[in-house]
Amino acid sequence: MLTLNLSKRSQTLPRFVGIFLALSLLAGLLPQPARAFSPAAAQTCNTRYTVKSGDTLSSIALQYKISWTELAAANNLKEPYTIYVGQVLCIPVASTTSSTGTTSSSNRASFSLALKGRFLVITTSNFPKKNLYYVKVSEGRFSQGPEITIVGRLMVRNKPDNVYSYKLPRELTTVRYLRVCLKNIVTDANTCRSLYIGR
């Protein structure tokens, strides 16, 4: 009888050890909360923000009046710039201002527009490389009109300035103003400009 009990115990102990090791391995494989920012970045944080359901990089950046690229850089976010609910983000100090009080924009993403016949020509400057954008065009000067047309997609190449050309629908070549927005497919950030056609 004593021999039988010892035999059962000697079989039970390896089972418990095996279960414990399996659970430890599974716990290690579960996603751990990532550190949103490095200690160096924490020194430049203006505040911290906890991501909520429905948040995007661009919506958070807009709330704090910074660009989404500054927000991504401050939190060491790489493509595809994924954020998750509960993540704590470092909100960096807004761009420094010059003595005249204007924001420095030497490295800010921008683009220029031109119209050649029915073709819209876009020249980008300082856009993040290898990012993909929708090119959205509408009639109007200050805001997107009710009719928004996506005329193509724009992939920023590996150089600072790039030129792209898109054929416009005929009805958009006869308006006085065009509103052109580049919408980042991943972050939903919009960068917009108006073009005066004067017809």
Q: Which of 20-24, 48-52, 128-132 is predicted least confidently?
A: 20-24
User: Is the distance from CB of 149 to CB of 138 less than 8 angstroms?
Assistant: yes
The model's confidence at residue 8, banded by pLDDT at 50, 70 and 90, is low
Give the length of the chain: 199
Domain range enclosing 75: 39-92
* Cα 184 to chain centroid, rounded: 7
pTM of the model: 0.48
DSSP conformational letter for 185? T
Decide if 1 is inside a domain. no
On whether both 179 and 134 belong to a single domain, the answer is yes
Across the chain, what does the average pLDDT equal? 74
Which amino acid, one-letter code, is at 93? V
- CATH code, domain with 73: 3.10.350.10
pLDDT digits (tens, 9 = 90+) for 47-103: 889 999 888 887 888 888 888 888 888 888 887 788 899 999 998 876 543 333 333
Among residues 136, 145, 134, 132, the alpha carbon closest in space to that of 176 is found at: 145
Decide if 180 is inside a domain. yes
Decide if 191 is inside a domain. yes
Evaluated on CA atoms 21, 24, 28, 29, the torsion sign reads: positive
Structure tokens at 190: 């919009």
Cα(35)–Cα(89) distance, integer angstroms: 9
Mean per-residue pLDDT for 182-198? Answer: 83
First to last CA, the chain: 104
* Residue finishing a domain among 65, 92, 119: 92
On whether both 77 and 114 belong to a single domain, the answer is no
Cα(165)–Cα(139) distance, integer angstroms: 18
- CATH code, domain with 152: 2.60.40.2060
Cα(45)–Cα(112) distance, integer angstroms: 32
On whether both 140 and 166 belong to a single domain, the answer is yes
DSSP conformational letter for 173? G
The total number of structural domains in the chain stands at 2
Place of tokens 């919408």: 183
Decide if 8 is inside a domain. no
Mean per-residue pLDDT for 18-34? Answer: 57
